[in-house]
């Protein structure tokens, strides 16, 4: 079910992250799914992550300007699951770093959720809304692009998926050669001190 869907989209994200030649193409292709109000949530998760990380690569493409990226993310926020909402807020926070002209608009959107009944969403909105006021240098450091994934370490999102499976009494999926490859074929490293974008729950 959802666990499998999460694992699939994250594997794709790992592959794209570790292959620079795929980043612009994948972001363009997946952004198209965000334009569909009835897009499957797995597609929304993949597209949201890629827009947050690599949206700047397509910002000059027709139909993918920064304001259109922002509006596409907003369109799905209301009907998304809690985990996907968190992912969307994270992507918007990343946009603050690369699209300074939209910082105020993004902050205003996040301000709406500072008093959300969902405590986790509320905390995320408060923290992200405060980021633009901390200075460009600090903002760039916190919101830098995610590095490549290491093939010899379980990624944070993968660890969470395994933990969720165990909590539900499911047998954790073993890491295969293909999953190791997706985690970091180029000998990359896990993020340290950066704002990791969480998976949908």
Q: Tell me: the pLDDT tens digits for 24-34? A: 999 999 999 99
| pTM of this prediction exceeds 0.95 | no
Q: Residue 158 above 60 pLDDT?
A: no
User: 137: helix, coil or strand?
Assistant: helix
Q: Which value, to the nearest 10 degrees, does the dihedral of the CA atoms of residues 27, 31, 32, 33 take? A: 120
pLDDT-based confidence at 191, cuts 50/70/90?
Answer: very low
Residue keyed to tokens 């994948």: 26
Please identify which residue in the block is written with the tokens 């910002």.
59
Q: Which of 66-75, 85-94, 178-187 has the lowest mean pLDDT?
A: 178-187
C-beta atoms surrounding 171 within 10 Å: 7
Dist CA 9 CA 159 (whole Å): 15
Q: How many CB atoms lie within 10 A of CB 16?
A: 23
pLDDT in tens, 98-141: 888 888 898 899 888 888 888 888 888 888 877 766 666 655 66
Contact assessment for residue 2 and residue 171, using Cβ atoms and an 8 Å cutoff? no
């Amino acid at each position: 079910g959802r666990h499998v869907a999460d694992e699939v989209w994250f594997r794709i994200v790992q592959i794209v992250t570790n292959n620079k030649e795929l980043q612009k193409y994948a972001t363009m292709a997946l952004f198209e799914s965000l334009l569909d109000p009835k897009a499957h949530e797995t597609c929304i998760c993949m597209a949201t992550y890629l827009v947050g990380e690599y949206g700047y690569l397509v910002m000059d493409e027709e139909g993918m300007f920064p304001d259109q990226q922002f509006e596409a993310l907003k369109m799905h926020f209301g009907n998304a699951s809690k985990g996907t909402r968190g992912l969307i807020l994270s992507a918007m926070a990343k946009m603050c770093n690369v699209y300074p002209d939209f910082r105020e608009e993004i902050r205003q959107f996040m301000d709406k959720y500072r008093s959300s009944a969902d405590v986790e969403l509320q905390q995320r909105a408060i923290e992200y809304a405060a980021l633009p006021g901390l200075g460009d240098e600090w903002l760039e450091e916190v919101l830098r692009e995610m590095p490549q994934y290491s093939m010899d370490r379980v990624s944070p999102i993968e660890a969470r998926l395994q933990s969720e499976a165990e909590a539900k009494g499911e047998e954790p999926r073993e890491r295969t050669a293909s999953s190791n490859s997706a985690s970091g074929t180029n000998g990359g490293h896990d993020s340290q001190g950066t704002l990791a974008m969480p998976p949908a729950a």
